[in-house]
Amino acid sequence: MTIKSALILLSILLVPFGVINSAENTVLIQEQYYTVEDFKSVKKFDTHIHINTDQTSFIELANEDNFKFLDIVDDRPFGLPWTEQQKFAFQHLNNFPAQMEVATTFSVKGFDKKDWAEKTIRDLKLSLSKGAKAVKIWKNIGMELRDEQGKFVMLDDPRLAPIFSFLVQNRIPLIGHNGEPRDCWLPLDKMTFSQSYYGSHPEYHMFLHPEFPSYEAHIQARDNLLEKYPDLKFVGAHLGSLEWSLDELARRLDKYPNMRVDLSRISNLQLHTLNDRQKTRNFFIKYQDRLVYGTDKAINANTNPAEFKKSIHDSWLRDWLFFATDSRIQLIGFGELNGLKLPRTVIDKIYRKNAENWLSNTPNEINKN
Ligand SMILES: [Zn+2]
């Protein structure tokens, strides 16, 4: 018997004694929040997954844990080239159409050529015709791509404009990973969470490359884009690279009504909660239509599917405990906090409904949930 049915039974038994009200209230309170037991039964959506393999154990796990997911193709200079990532993505989409969606991307090869935008739009149309629902733009814009003069091409570069106009006209959602966490521009000993990554990847550690665009320049270029295309269905990956400040993030969400962000910087959200749980919880309640759950998991070929599935399952479950319950959570190196225990209605939005709205080919539906 579940707690809920026990309480209902209890309230029935108590009717003759005139104490139904308090039992009824308990049932109502139970119904406002999910528990750890609800994890599997609630439909969920992870909007930030990278599948780099034809193996299907991740998709099996997603099915078992009641997750749909968005498989995002990236134009990265390392690992599997984007065309290979996309082959796997469409192969999986064909085999598991009810389980997933695909976000395609585009190459910046030949960016200086006059017909680059036209060719790129043609490629995008082909990927969209194969079932892609969204487009990803990655940090290579702003951190890697340079024009003929050797200048960095930023997100608000007019040469990218035809791509954005195409997306707006066709209501295609855009995922922007622009810039990096603010840690990337700080010395290692001033970083919050990224010491080990940048310690072993000095080439991406912008503190060591002052000739590259600043953190503020990336954020400004992204803001300029949102200013110029108010109808763009935009999701800023990794809390829009504003992971360090809920106030800065709130300012953008207020200013750009069609901006959403994915939550794939959960350690930062836990740190905000540790510092001020009430403020963080209020942020989630206020912006409940603008936040989409995502984890940025890379799914590579693996030799031990059972172990691999367990590690992803455990990490999804830990996130659920943080968002849906007030469980004690250990944030290593910082301390202990209580989960946010967001109401069911808010959990349903950030864990599924907002993603479905955003990915549907309809005009922006923010605030119509
Ligand atoms: Zn990613």
- Highest averaged pLDDT of the listed ranges 39-53, 176-190, 200-214: 39-53
What secondary structure letter does DSSP report for 179?
S
DSSP 269-307: HHHHHHH-HHHHHHHHHHTTTSEE----EEE---S-HHH
Cα–Cα dist 207/204, whole Å: 9
Where do the structural domains in the chain lie, given as residue ranges?
A: 42-359
Provide the pLDDT confidence category of residue 17 given band limits of 50, 70 and 90. Answer: very low
Question: What is the 51 CA–ligand 1 centroid distance (Å)?
Answer: 10
Q: How far is the CA of 176 from the centre of ligand 1 (A)?
A: 10
Q: What is the CATH class of 42-359?
A: alpha beta
pTM over 0.75: yes
Q: Which of 141, 150, 159 is nearest to 77 (CA)?
A: 141
Q: How far does residue 52's CA lie from ligand 1's centre (Å)?
A: 12
Strand 44-51: give its sheet, edge to edge: 291-292, 259-262, 234-236, 174-176, 134-137, 100-104, 67-72, 44-51, 297-299
Cα(294) to ligand 1 centroid in Å equals 9
Q: How confident is the model at residue 21 (pLDDT cuts 50, 70, 90)?
A: low
Q: What is residue 132's DSSP assignment?
A: -
Across residues 299-326, what is the average pLDDT? Answer: 95
Residue 367: is its pLDDT beyond 50?
A: no
- Ligand 1 centre to CA of 25 (Å) is 43
pLDDT at 12 over 50: no
- For 266-285, write each residue's pLDDT tens digit: 999 999 999 999 999 999 99
**Cα of 237 to ligand 1 centre, how many Å?**
8
pLDDT above 90: residue 246? yes
Instruction: State in Å: Cα 79 to ligand 1 middle.
Output: 13
Q: Has residue 324 got a pLDDT over 90? A: yes
Q: Average pLDDT of 208-220?
A: 94
Q: What is the mean pLDDT of the chain?
A: 91
Residue 6's pLDDT is 52
Quote the tokens at residue 334.
């910082």
Torsion of CA 28, 7, 328, 276, to 10 degrees: 20
- Using CB atoms within 10 Å of the CB of residue 320, give its burial: 0 to 12 exposed, 13 to 18 middle, 19+ buried: buried
Q: What is the pLDDT of residues 81-116, one digit of tens each?
A: 999 999 999 999 999 999 999 999 999 989 999 999
pLDDT value of position 14? 46
* pLDDT one-digit tens code per residue, 32-63: 999 999 999 999 999 999 999 999 999 999 99
